[in-house]
Amino acid sequence: MRKLAAVLFEGFEMLDYFGPLEMFAMFPDEIEIVAVAEHAAPVRASGGPAVMPDRVFADGADYDLLLVPGGRGTRREVDNPVLLDWHVAASARAELVTSVCTGSALLARAGLLDGRAATTNKLAFDWVASQSDKVDWRASARWVADGRFLTASGVSAGIDMSLDALARLLGPEAAEKAAHWAEYVANRDPENDPFARMDKM
């Protein structure tokens, strides 16, 4: 049984978080989902309801998988040493570290993407890239896998990235099954980025 820490902070983006979680949750015997935040209090999504954390950063950083969403809140959290330090500790032990949208800004600021290729969403690209010049930022990519680090492009791209993560963890049939069950038309090619073309990136 792998334990997945799904990170919460005020102003996180709903689909960044719950899209991948929907896919991971289809394998409850293999993956346990734990919502983790800095404080033991409800955390409000950007424009949506508040979510209860199951655990806090102070409870430890011993997780097998990480999911870091983006959202407006990342603009504040890139300057939060408690959150960044926890990501460093958790990433050191994790088998896979995944982010969606501007979540990669947090990983970059924590120094975790140094020397790696990574991506983020199109509309905040310049801001995210400005968080670290030690990252090989890819403007065109549905998601980027570099070693243990999987960073997705904007919002919905996180679902495709999570299916790649599932394929790595449980095999391609598991990813196929999850997409089918959720009636999700998956994009299985990380290089196929229709939005980079649309936004001329």
187 lies in the site for a copy of itself, by CB under 8 A: yes
155 lies in the site for a copy of itself, by CB under 8 A: yes
17 lies in the site for a copy of itself, by CB under 8 A: yes
Give the span between the Cα atoms of 112 and 88, in whole angstroms: 7
Give the span between the Cα atoms of 10 and 123, in whole angstroms: 20
CA distances from 77 to 109, 128, 144 (A): 10, 12, 22
Contact mark string toward a copy of itself, 32..71, x via CB under 8 A: -x-x------x--xxxxxxxxxx-----------------
127 lies in the site for a copy of itself, by CB under 8 A: no
Question: Quick one: 88 or 123, whose CB is closer to a copy of itself?
Answer: 123
Residues 6+ apart with CB under 8 A from 152: 98, 99, 100, 101, 119, 142, 143, 158, 160, 161
Interface contacts to a copy of itself, rule CB under 8 A? 6, 8, 13-15, 17-19, 21-22, 25-26, 28, 33, 35, 42, 45-54, 121-123, 153-157, 159, 180-185, 187, 194-195, 198
